[in-house]
Amino acid sequence: MEAFLVSITTISIAEIGDRTQLLSLLLAARFRRPWPIIAGILCATLANHALAGVVGVWFGSLLKPRTLQVVVGISMIAMALWTLKPDKLDGSAGEASAMGAFLATLTSFFIAEVGDKTQIATLALAAAYPSLLAVVAGTTAGMMVANVPVVFLGKAFADRLPVKAIHVGAAGLFVVLGAVFLMRALWR
């Protein structure tokens, strides 16, 4: 249960203002069909985070528990610094528009998530926790918690969020998680 709760909380907060959330906003404005967009986000996130989780489990199996805790702790602190750097949407969702809202979302969201901080966080969480299913379920749920309101409420919702404060809060959460993992490493 801890793996799921940490995963959903971490990802839902870290996703606010992230490039994939900006992509959700762009897709919602372009297609104005929320359900196919939400289905595309769900499928892309499940595939991307499952892959990241499998890599994380493999990576975690290579390290001794204490070393793994240190690596995850340091990666969470690095994620805190990365969270403070605002994302910009640098791709165009329009190129895939002929495939329809679902396929455009599926492909663009999967690609945008490659190397993204939420994918890296998923990898680190999967390395740290023994339940791959709980981590992937939590990170996927976190992505949906952050992106579904954007798809439905669009730009009016996005303009009212205190994005800078949310980024600072997310960075603080990553620092706390990093410290927890580092303390676990020290007390093993």
Q: What phi, psi does 129 have (nearest 5°)?
A: -110, 145
Residue 86 confidence (pLDDT): 61
d(CA 74, CA 52): 18
For residue 180, the surrounding DSSP H or E stretch is helix 163-186
**Cα–Cα dist 156/29, whole Å:** 11
Spatial contact of 163 and 13, defined as CB atoms under 8 Å apart: no
What pLDDT, on a 0 to 100 scale, did the predictor assign at position 43? 97
Enumerate the domain spans of the chain.
2-186
Q: What is the pLDDT of residue 162?
A: 65
Give me the tens of pLDDT residue by residue for the chain, a chain 188 residues long.
999 999 999 999 888 878 788 888 878 877 878 899 999 999 999 999 999 999 999 988 888 878 877 887 787 788 778 767 765 544 444 443 435 889 989 988 898 888 888 898 999 999 999 999 999 999 999 999 999 998 998 755 555 656 677 667 767 877 887 888 789 888 86
